[in-house]
Amino acid sequence: MPFFEWDSTLSVNIDEIDQQHKTLIEMINVLHESTKKEDRNIVVGEVLIKLKNYLDVHFGTEEKYMLMYDYPETQSHKTEHNDFIKEVLDFEVACSGGYAPYVPLLDFLKNWLSKHIKMTDINLGIFLAGKIKP
């Protein structure tokens, strides 16, 4: 059973964003699996770098939509993104120093992403539903 499973409560009903969220969840699951490996410190560091790079892509996509359609909550949404990236960077620094806080890292990623999608991204999806033609 995966550490973090996608379900319909995580759908924002914007296919591009939903697909990216699924990719992020899969990356978190890969990170979870990597903690079981003998060379986990190296693997966790590599997965964190990939995750950080993908966050740039994903947050860029969401922010593109926000700007394109003049989303009224753009600034607070972007602040959440920036705060999340800062936390991921802090974990990356901790891992590069030889300490890999696996449980706090995985719990943070899962809880933050789930909460952010359900409370913030879904509002963006509702707003965009009236703007984007299927």
Q: Which residue shows structure tokens 């033609």?
A: 133
Domain boundaries, the chain: 11-129
Percent of the chain having pLDDT more than 70?
Answer: 99
| Element of type H or E holding 36 | none
Task: Determine the average pLDDT of the residues in 7-29.
Answer: 95
For the entire predicted model, the pTM comes to 0.91
Please choose, from the candidates 111, 52, 47, 63, the residue with its C-alpha nearest in 3D space to the C-alpha of residue 85: 52
**CA nearest 48: which of 28, 19, 18, 20?**
28
Residue with token string 């995750």: 51
Please tell me the class of the 11-129 domain.
Answer: mainly alpha
- Return the structure tokens found at 48: 């964190």
Summarised one tens digit per residue, pLDDT across range 80-123 is 999 999 998 888 888 777 777 788 889 999 999 999 999 999 99
Look at residue 48 in the predicted model and tell me its pLDDT: 83
List C-alpha distances in Å: 132 to 36, 62, 70, 94: 42, 13, 13, 41
